[in-house]
Structure 1
Amino acid sequence: MARKCLAILITSAGRRVGLLQCFRAAAERLDVDLTIIACDLNPDESAACALADHAAAVPRCDSPDYATSILEIVRQHGVSLVIPTIDPELMPLAQAAPAFANLGARVHVSPVNVIEVVRDKRLTIQKLSEAGVPVPRTLDHQELLERPQDISWPIFAKPSGGSASRGLDVFETLADVPSEFPEPMIFQDKLNGPEYTINMFVDASGQLCTVIPHLRIQIRAGEVEKGETRRRNDLQTIAEGIAQALPDLRGVACFQIIDDPEHGPAVLEINARFGGGYPLADHAGAQFAQWLLEEVAELPSTANNNWRDGVKMMRYDSAVYQG
């Protein structure tokens, strides 16, 4: 049998060397001849672009030309799978999914109706609450000003459409809350306790195959620097509730919870993409990269929930050199 050849594109590649390595290792296990293209706003300053087989420059993901530029890379290299890595690019790529399909490429992104929910933290909380998934009490700015007694103080504030830990704040009293913000905000109970990321994989048929939580032991720049996988039935149940609340969710997603000792675990947000801590899940046996390649290459699926509990990751700085 001839060896299968695939090309994939990792967008907003930046420092995602670990993700690139997971796909390379998956291709070796599957005996797939894999070509990895990476793109970024400044590919000459991206470690992942430097280690990819090919690299390309693209406009910012909020540019009207962004999806068109990604389509052109797909056309040039015969890409079969596009892997977005940051939240702001999910909607333009989801909207362009039919155009990618016409080129024979799958964009690893859920449908527009799912992205509309997960990119709006207020809407996410509402959708999950309606489905019985535990979430913190949440108010928008107007609700907070009108009903400050409906939430416990101090409160946690964040942009409704934010990502990468941007714009986070804590307010002790209503008098501390500004009268205006530069973007829509939500305000939540300030929960205490250990924080977890739960990675989940939903196959192409909509079946939730894997739920793998890891404790966020130490965070740097919004991503886990030290973490450890923990098998917990209550977090598995929460993930099942999210899958039911968002039945069109596909592929890889992750969500964050705080396990408050008084109130129990509550979901803070959902990222419908590979999270920054995914390499820990992959090393523990939840090999989402391999399972996506299997789907695209039409190979038998090996997706399972038999990952290893108690696997610890401790990241350190490394470097890529050029010239």
Structure 2
Amino acid sequence: MTKITILVSSAGRRVALIECFRESARAAGLELEVLACDIEPALSAACQAADRALPVPRCDDPRFIETLLEIAQRFGVDLLVPTIDPELMPLSVAADRFAAIGTQVHVSPPATIEIVRDKLRTAQVLGAANVPVPRTASLEAARAMASDFDWPAFVKPAGGSASRGIRIVQSPSQLPHGTEEPMILQQLLKGPEYTVNMFVDRDGELRSAVAHQRLRIRAGEVEKGRTKRHPVFRELAEGILRAMPQMRGVLCFQVIDDPQAGPMVFEINARFGGGYPLAHRAGAEFTRWLLEETAGLPSRMHDDWLSDVLMLRYDAAFFPTQTVQL
């Protein structure tokens, strides 16, 4: 039986993702070892669920990549799976260093990460490729065109995630001054919100696009959701890939179906989204496809997933009996 060792980085609460990898390994006939790392692994639920947990510095610490390289080499990691946006760029830049020691990093190239980590650039690049996006401007530009913008509107960090720093402003007088990070103003959309999980294979082909409606959201992640099949979501995924053809692996994007403007893409995450387990349950086993690519096995990629699969999340708990150690 072929053995695969994966490292889930910034593991945090991603227990369900680890369980998906384990389920996929069993189905593919692979022996799987799961390593997980976090700043404080003893306080990470996903680290408790892993076979081994390891401490690492913050992803903005210069030692972060060096520590991961040491872990990857020491334990023979085949696949490194990032889970949060801030670590994508440092891992993407260092991908060749990991490849030199036999570790594949599940991340798109730096040019793609640079775009998706900036909501203004995302809107510009997608808009230029005729992918429908909400009107978006920097705060400086928004002030200059205030009389020509529709109010109220959204203010959000250009590089934010998990709904951090988002608020509605009613008029130009409410635009913030002296912000600590770049901010954007974005057209306020209304209507049902969807996440589309997409898988792009190593050759750059879109193999699956699984949409689910975000029925209820908590801390920026779907708490209750239902898969929905509609051609428009596949078309949007194809348009995004045309706009950024270097995308690879698992990604997800957010859509609001505004009753007047229609479906519009307003965010892309170049990683596993928090709602991935719903796509997995519907039959789109991205974790299995990644393991098959890593192990060099024939792929079972497809787009034949089930619509109307409902996910209702709840909180669970670990009660560790000992402290996780390196």
8 Å contact from structure 2 (residues 139, 175) kept in 1 = no
d(CA) in 1 for partners of 2:140 and 2:176?
12
Q: Which runs of 5+ in 1 are unaligned?
A: none
2:305 is the counterpart of 1:307:
yes
How far is the alpha carbon of 1:179 from its aligned partner? 2.5
Query: How far does residue 180 in structure 1 lie from its aligned partner after superposition?
Result: 2.3
**Aligned residue type for 2:142:** L
- Partner in structure 2 of residue 70 of structure 1: 68
**1:125 corresponds to which residue?**
123
Aligned partners of 1:229 and 1:311 also within 8 Å: yes
Aligned to 1:303, what secondary structure does the other structure show?
coil
Partner of 1:79: 77
Corresponding residue pairs, total: 321
Quote the residue 2:272 is aligned against: 274
Which of 253, 256, 259 lines up with 1:258 in the alignment? 256
TM-score w.r.t. the length of structure 2 is 0.98
Kept in 1: contact 2:113–2:270 (CA 8 A): yes
The corresponding residue for 1:296 is 294
Aligned partner of 1:284 in structure 2 is 282
Give the letter for the 1:181 counterpart: T
Distance in 2, Cα, partners of 1:65 & 1:161: 22
Contact kept? 1:151, 1:188, Cα under 8 Å? no
In the alignment, residue 94 of structure 2 is paired with which amino acid?
A: A
Counterpart of 1:194 (choices 189, 192, 195) is: 192
1:157 is aligned to 2:158? no
User: Matches of 1:273 and 1:244 in 2, distance apart?
Assistant: 18
TM-score if structure 1 supplies the norm length? Answer: 0.98
Conserved 8 A contact 1:284-1:311: yes
Q: Which whole-Å deviations, capped at 9, do the CAs of 1:294-318 have from their partners, x for residues lacking one?
A: 0000000100000000000000111
Q: How far does the alpha carbon of each residue in 1:208-261 deviate from its partner, in whole angstroms, 9 at most, with x for none? A: 000000000000111000000000111110110001101000000000011100
CA distance in 2, matches of 1:286, 1:253: 13
Across the aligned residues of Structure 1 and Structure 2, the Cα RMSD in angstroms comes to: 0.6
Residue 156 of structure 2 contacts residue 167 of structure 2 at CA under 8 Å; is this kept in 1?
A: yes
| Alignment correspondent of 1:24 | 22
Partner residue, 1:226: 224
> What's the CA shift for 1:150?
3.0
Stretches (4+) displaced over 4 A: none
Query: What is residue 89 of structure 1 aligned with on the other side?
Result: 87
Asked if the contact 2:35–2:50 (Cα under 8 Å) also holds between the matched residues in 1, the reply is yes
Q: CA-to-partner distance for each residue in 1:264-316, whole Å, 9 max, x for gaps?
A: 01111100000000000000001000000000000001000000000000001
Q: Are the counterparts in 2 of residues 27 and 34 from structure 1 also a CA contact under 8 Å?
A: yes
Q: SS in structure 2 opposite 1:34?
A: strand
Q: Which amino acid aligns with 1:36?
A: V
Which one of the candidate residues 224, 236, 239 is aligned to 1:238? Answer: 236
- Cα deviation for residue 164 of structure 1 reads 1.4
CA distance in 2, matches of 1:309, 1:256: 18
